[in-house]
Structure 1
Amino acid sequence: MIADTQHPTRPFKLWSQFQTHWELIFALLAGLFILTGWLLSQYGYAGLSVLAYVLAFGIGGFAKAKEGIIDTLEHRKLNVEMLMVLAAVGSALIGYWVEGAILILIFSLSGALETYTMNKSKKEISALMSLQPEKAVRFEDGVETSIPIESLRVNDVIIIRAGERVPADGELIDGETTFDEAAITGEAIPVVKAKGDEVFAGTVNVRGTILVKVTKPLSETLFQRIIHMVQTAQSEKSPSQLFIERMEGTYVKVVLLVVAVMMVLPHYVLGWSWTETFYRAMILLVVASPCALVASIMPATLSAISSSAKRGILFKGGVHIENLGHLKAIAFDKTGTLTNGSPEVTDVVIRDGLKQHSFFFHVASLETYSNHPLAQAIVAYSEPQLTDGITKPEQMEDISGYGVQGLFADGQWKAGSAAFVGEQEAAAFHNNVAERLAAEGKTVVFIKDDKGIAGVIALKDSIRPEAVAAIEALRKEGITPVMLTGDSEQTAKAIAAESGLTHYEAACLPEKKVSHIKELQRQFGTVAMVGDGINDAPALATANVGVAMGDGTDVALETADVVLMKNDLPRLAEAVKRSKKMNRIIKQNIVFSLSVVALLIASNFMQIVDLPLGVIGHEGSTILVIVNGLRLLKG
């Protein structure tokens, strides 16, 4: 019975293996037919020998010929695959069956290696996709029901037991556990989570049984967005790749024109025989083909994108990983990027005569409707001071970069920057207490009512422990770090000093950040912006490379070109190093491939190289540049 149940899967597995490796299988079969043809020719079976070579041509050249013909018909331009087919057929026409067949064999082997490279570079994504479970256990009215994950809906409650993967993004509503988030962040150390914390699809519940409320549709989970971003990155070509592909069509036409001339001119000018003239033209057709040049970039780019994704650094396209290697300056947002993004209230100064309860009532009622980290910290500090709760103000307005305002029964109240409430009044309040607080590196929020400044609240957001090391690592890469913050001059100066920055710009509204990015581009050239908030989105889009922190807002994640899935700034320097390494490998490949082509062309005109050696030199260089690009998969 066991054999009967397993047997039907064998053909499927064999077919699956064949589909994965069919190019290599066809290449090996072509090699077998070449060996058979050579043996038959040694024993005088010339007709059967030619038949074996023809089979080698058909089987070995099938993949590349098909690719070349389809591409030629679709884009109406010749390509390197067609050059190889023409060279092999031309060799056969003048009786060089073995050389033509060997050309097809090595060309098919290089094609199989290139396919292997592409599959290898996408392996992390395939593995990532396989991490999402197919079923979930829904918990409703005390009853557990196993359902396909496609049936999950927002607000469904699911049970996740120890060792199981989370099927959808959600909020932990019962239990406490640790999660292995390596699939999302690349970080191997488990993360402790308790009630109210967010959990992500694809991560593993290490211990205990928990209840999770689904908060996002399956298509919008962080897990699916990661897959989509990397798949998009792998399909988007870098500027270098696009240039090579644009050049390919013109290059092929020039080669064919030169070959056509060489099929005639040397016979009359150099006195070569017609056979020698045609033979040399066929060698030129082989050695002048830009196969290695075309393969110089894409395998290296895909390998770099895949290895970065494995480490929690997501690139949205080859253009971005290439640009990162040319980076000369990088601008950082402060809150949530250089700092932890969770400020705490340190000082509160209230106007004389104003009751503390009234002050916190109005402040909490205003700030509770804002998503800004400062507002949330103020609300968290104010709530314990209240006895009767809060109310919703009328005519509520959240003015990006300035603050919030609303109308209460006793008049209008504002909470925000000095510019929002009136700079002169703000400066004069309590003998300019705000200046002293700002000099201590604290962010000052001004509260104003109809009578003037009602009070100030100072908050401090601590620097990320790794920020100083990350900035220093970027400096060692020759990159100038700059901080762009909406905070005051005093606060910005204190934070910059603490994080080791010498360049900063304070009081930056979203549009001012954009203008500073443009100025940095004029001064340095290629510039990156690192941020995590909605107000950073315009600057992220303006920079040559926009980098978002993994726990940033959806807008920042969608706008950015690079995402650091774990909020670990030193990984940015790691990404720059990998980008530079990729660019070096691409340059090595281009110089090497062009040098080999030039050497083989010169050798052919001097009648030094014959067809087999030309084939080996040309196709060998193609294989070498592909293997060189594969080095990026390991580092």
Structure 2
Amino acid sequence: MAVKNMSTKTYFLGLILFLSAIMMFVFKLEIPFVDPKILYLLATALAGYHVIGEGLVLTYQDSVKQKKFVPNIHILMSLGAIGAILIGNFEEAALLILIFAGAHFLEEYAEGKSQREIKSLLEMNPTKARIIDDQGNINEVDVEKVKVGDQIQVQNGGQVPIDGMIITGVAAIDESAINGESIPREKTVGDPVYAGTINGNDSFIMEATKTSDQTVFSKILQLVDQSQNNLSKTATKIKRIEPIYVKIVLLLFPIVMLLGSLIFHWTLGTAVYRGIVFLISASPCALAASAVPATLSAISNLAKHGVLFKGGSFLSNISDLKAVAFDKTGTLTNGKPVVTDFFIEDDFDKDTLTDIVVSMEKQTNHPLASAIVANFPEAKTLDLTVETQVGKGVFAKYQGDEYLIAKPSAFENVQQSITNQQSYLSDQGKTVVFIAKNAEVIGMIALMDTPNENAKPTIDYLNQQGINTVMITGDSKQTGEAIGHEIGLNEVVTEVLPEDKVNIINDLKTEYNMCGMVGDGVNDAPALVNSNIGVAMGEGTDVAIDVADVVLMKNDLSKFVYSHKISKRLNKVVWQNIIFSMLIVTLLVVLNFFSITDIGLGVIAHEGSTLLVILNGLRLLH
């Protein structure tokens, strides 16, 4: 930072000396012992010593380190300034350096904006926690010292320091840092809370369930940091060809002077000057800035919206997907069954039967019991003695009658109207349980793990983009195809064992070349790893999140659509930048041959194009 401040100060001192020399020339001022040429030289040295240092010194150091000539972009500007001085163009040397160094500061500021957006996220990492000891005293400690099981007080307006669970109190918590959702979520006893989120107006006590290095937020920071060091393919290629490009420009330098002398009859002085203008015009600064600022801006944008990419290459490639495979449970569906249908024969009191069914299910640990109870919040709780018999169902007696809730196969001689209704519901992929009174089936409840609200819009978007959509599930053919048909999937593969998912992904890769996988469970991890781009749902298992290339911090498939759109925009912006930067270089080189441009105009056009390229990339922040 001190070096940067010093270079800024010397830059402005050089600018003052340059303007002073201009004033002396314009107003024909004569100051004893002050020569405008000396002022120009001092202005060049003070404003551009860091530019020339990077050009000459770093080229030397990199060349020695790699044992081959490795020039950088700054060497072209450095040679241009030195050449202008050698042929007596002191004022143009100073102008070149002043414009280049000034633009360089602006470029660093603009390029740093996307990184500052990311750093603002990193600065949200909690540092302190208020631990409650065995005597009830509160001690503020570094968050790294928090252990699993510690009780922590979170004050109103305070930051949650660690992942955990509320054990006392109620809170409205802003979780935008975790999932991009701006509306605070109501939390109470038993609900999970996450490090880095912000508490509302009420304090609460929580119990730590993870250490500071295991929290969701710490994983976000790790992914964001990782993504900055993993550039897109285009950015990596540009970085790799940069020294090759500079070498070609240096080799063309004498050829340009020779051709100019032969074709345009340049004098030696003109040839050298035009060669210097060529070095400046052909410098690939704008090309070098075409991809990195845009990629960092896109990654920052997505991070703020709760989508984390483990590298720019994955973000760049997601728009190239030709097929996407989805897990069903917890990815395309909500992950837990809900009651979809409740059918009772007309001869029976529906309200009373509802009270009986809910009272029975409240006393069982049947997998579907909680869904049934949750669907009838107004039901009364009756005093029943309930007996669960494995493989048969749930029994209870009420007012002299015996009631049974069981799967359809447990019954014989069922009325045709009941059987028809059951077949209709089963064809829709729903799980049906019968309700019997005194051994007679009088009704049924149908349940289903329903598609989440963003599943169909996501599939519709991908289908519109010409991307093949596939669901891979271990569920029955009937259930899987019912879900697939409802949300519009192109293909449904059912009754798949976890180890077979990888084979399906390999087949899709062979057929479509670029295949993505979206899942949330441990059994999805091998498929996520094997796909070209693995996408994990943020509320899924740690294993799935660890192996995936992309994490949707909230189980919101619309974020996948948003990522695809940003990826398309990123690739479009990068190619805009590359084409624009090379057109400017070509134009300046052509104008130079016809002696239409000079050093000043060349460097203004050159640096202006670089700034425009960076600013175009920064549009991806929004």
Q: TM-score range by the shorter chain?
A: 0.7 to 0.9
* 1:554 counterpart residue number: 542
TM-aligned CA distance change 1:50 to 1:265, over 3 Å: same
Structure 1: which amino acid aligns with 2:332? L
Structure 1: which amino acid aligns with 2:212? L
* 2:397 counterpart residue number: none
Residue 244 of structure 1 aligns to a residue whose secondary structure is helix
- Farther off after superposition, 300-309 or 517-526: 517-526
* Alpha-carbon distance between aligned partners in 1 of 2:127 and 2:106, rounded to the nearest angstrom: 33
Q: CA deviation at 1:477?
A: 3.4
Residue 597 of structure 2 aligns to a residue whose secondary structure is coil
- Structure 2 residues without counterparts, runs of 5 or longer: 342-360, 376-383, 391-418, 434-444
* 2:266 counterpart residue number: 272
| Per-residue CA distance 1:1-48 (angstroms, 9 max, x = gap) | xxxxxxxxxxxxxxx7x7776665554444333212322344256954
Residue 178 of structure 1 aligns to a residue whose secondary structure is strand
1:519 to 483, 507, 510: 507
Work out whether residues 158 and 214 of structure 1, in 8 Å CA contact, stay in contact via their aligned partners in 2: yes
Matches within 5 A, 1:297-316: 297-316=291-310
- Farther off after superposition, 153-162 or 61-70: 61-70
Work out whether residues 435 and 490 of structure 1, in 8 Å CA contact, stay in contact via their aligned partners in 2: no
Taking structure 1 as the reference length, the TM-score comes to 0.78
Answering whether residue 206 of structure 2 is matched by residue 212 of structure 1, we say yes
- Structure 1 residues without counterparts, runs of 5 or longer: 1-15, 348-359, 368-372, 391-430, 446-456
* 1:43 counterpart residue number: 29
* Alpha-carbon distance between aligned partners in 2 of 1:614 and 1:221, rounded to the nearest angstrom: 52
Answering whether residue 286 of structure 2 is matched by residue 292 of structure 1, we say yes
| Per-residue CA distance 1:221-246 (angstroms, 9 max, x = gap) | 11111111112111211110111112
* Alpha-carbon distance between aligned partners in 1 of 2:515 and 2:250, rounded to the nearest angstrom: 42
* Alpha-carbon distance between aligned partners in 2 of 1:61 and 1:376, rounded to the nearest angstrom: 72
* Alpha-carbon distance between aligned partners in 2 of 1:317 and 1:562, rounded to the nearest angstrom: 9
Matches within 5 A, 1:137-286: 137-141=130-134, 142-264=136-258, 266-267=260-261, 270-286=264-280
Answering whether residue 122 of structure 2 is matched by residue 135 of structure 1, we say no
Q: CA deviation at 1:470?
A: 2.1
* Alpha-carbon distance between aligned partners in 2 of 1:32 and 1:209, rounded to the nearest angstrom: 58
| Per-residue CA distance 1:138-164 (angstroms, 9 max, x = gap) | 112222222222321221100112211
* Alpha-carbon distance between aligned partners in 1 of 2:548 and 2:103, rounded to the nearest angstrom: 36
Structure 1: which amino acid aligns with 2:22? W
TM-aligned CA distance change 1:303 to 1:279, over 3 Å: same
Q: CA deviation at 1:265?
A: 5.2
* Alpha-carbon distance between aligned partners in 1 of 2:513 and 2:260, rounded to the nearest angstrom: 50
Answering whether residue 101 of structure 2 is matched by residue 124 of structure 1, we say no
* 1:98 counterpart residue number: 91
Structure 2: which amino acid aligns with 1:79? N
* 2:608 counterpart residue number: 620
TM-aligned CA distance change 1:462 to 1:96, over 3 Å: same
Q: CA deviation at 1:557?
A: 0.9
Work out whether residues 124 and 306 of structure 1, in 8 Å CA contact, stay in contact via their aligned partners in 2: yes
Q: CA deviation at 1:587?
A: 0.8
Structure 2: which amino acid aligns with 1:613? L
* Alpha-carbon distance between aligned partners in 1 of 2:508 and 2:422, rounded to the nearest angstrom: 31
Answering whether residue 50 of structure 2 is matched by residue 57 of structure 1, we say no
* 1:80 counterpart residue number: 73
1:494 to 482, 492, 495: 482
Answering whether residue 581 of structure 2 is matched by residue 593 of structure 1, we say yes
* Alpha-carbon distance between aligned partners in 2 of 1:389 and 1:117, rounded to the nearest angstrom: 69
* Alpha-carbon distance between aligned partners in 2 of 1:229 and 1:502, rounded to the nearest angstrom: 32
* Alpha-carbon distance between aligned partners in 2 of 1:253 and 1:385, rounded to the nearest angstrom: 88
Residue 140 of structure 2 aligns to a residue whose secondary structure is strand
* Alpha-carbon distance between aligned partners in 2 of 1:435 and 1:66, rounded to the nearest angstrom: 80
* Alpha-carbon distance between aligned partners in 2 of 1:321 and 1:21, rounded to the nearest angstrom: 35
TM-aligned CA distance change 1:290 to 1:375, over 3 Å: farther
* Alpha-carbon distance between aligned partners in 1 of 2:490 and 2:309, rounded to the nearest angstrom: 29
Work out whether residues 438 and 488 of structure 1, in 8 Å CA contact, stay in contact via their aligned partners in 2: no
Structure 1: which amino acid aligns with 2:47? G
Q: CA deviation at 1:287?
A: 0.7
* 1:415 counterpart residue number: none
Superposition CA RMSD, Å: 3.3
1:505 to 493, 513, 516: 493
* Alpha-carbon distance between aligned partners in 2 of 1:193 and 1:20, rounded to the nearest angstrom: 47
Q: CA deviation at 1:388?
A: 11
Bigger radius of gyration among the two = 2
Answering whether residue 455 of structure 2 is matched by residue 471 of structure 1, we say no
TM-aligned CA distance change 1:606 to 1:506, over 3 Å: same
* 1:370 counterpart residue number: none
Number of aligned positions between the proteins: 542
* Alpha-carbon distance between aligned partners in 1 of 2:389 and 2:115, rounded to the nearest angstrom: 54
* Alpha-carbon distance between aligned partners in 1 of 2:432 and 2:543, rounded to the nearest angstrom: 26
TM-aligned CA distance change 1:178 to 1:269, over 3 Å: closer
Taking structure 2 as the reference length, the TM-score comes to 0.80
| Per-residue CA distance 1:291-333 (angstroms, 9 max, x = gap) | 1111111111111111111111111111011111222222211
* Alpha-carbon distance between aligned partners in 1 of 2:300 and 2:154, rounded to the nearest angstrom: 30
* 1:583 counterpart residue number: 571
Work out whether residues 23 and 112 of structure 1, in 8 Å CA contact, stay in contact via their aligned partners in 2: no
* Alpha-carbon distance between aligned partners in 2 of 1:568 and 1:168, rounded to the nearest angstrom: 24
* Alpha-carbon distance between aligned partners in 1 of 2:4 and 2:599, rounded to the nearest angstrom: 32
Work out whether residues 125 and 218 of structure 2, in 8 Å CA contact, stay in contact via their aligned partners in 1: no
Structure 1: which amino acid aligns with 2:24? L
* 1:412 counterpart residue number: none
Work out whether residues 325 and 576 of structure 1, in 8 Å CA contact, stay in contact via their aligned partners in 2: yes
Work out whether residues 144 and 211 of structure 2, in 8 Å CA contact, stay in contact via their aligned partners in 1: no
- Farther off after superposition, 262-271 or 336-345: 262-271
How many percent of aligned residue pairs carry the same amino acid? 44
* Alpha-carbon distance between aligned partners in 2 of 1:202 and 1:330, rounded to the nearest angstrom: 32
Structure 1: which amino acid aligns with 2:476? S
* 2:449 counterpart residue number: 461
Q: CA deviation at 1:127?
A: 2.0
Matches within 5 A, 1:378-389: none
Residue 219 of structure 1 aligns to a residue whose secondary structure is coil
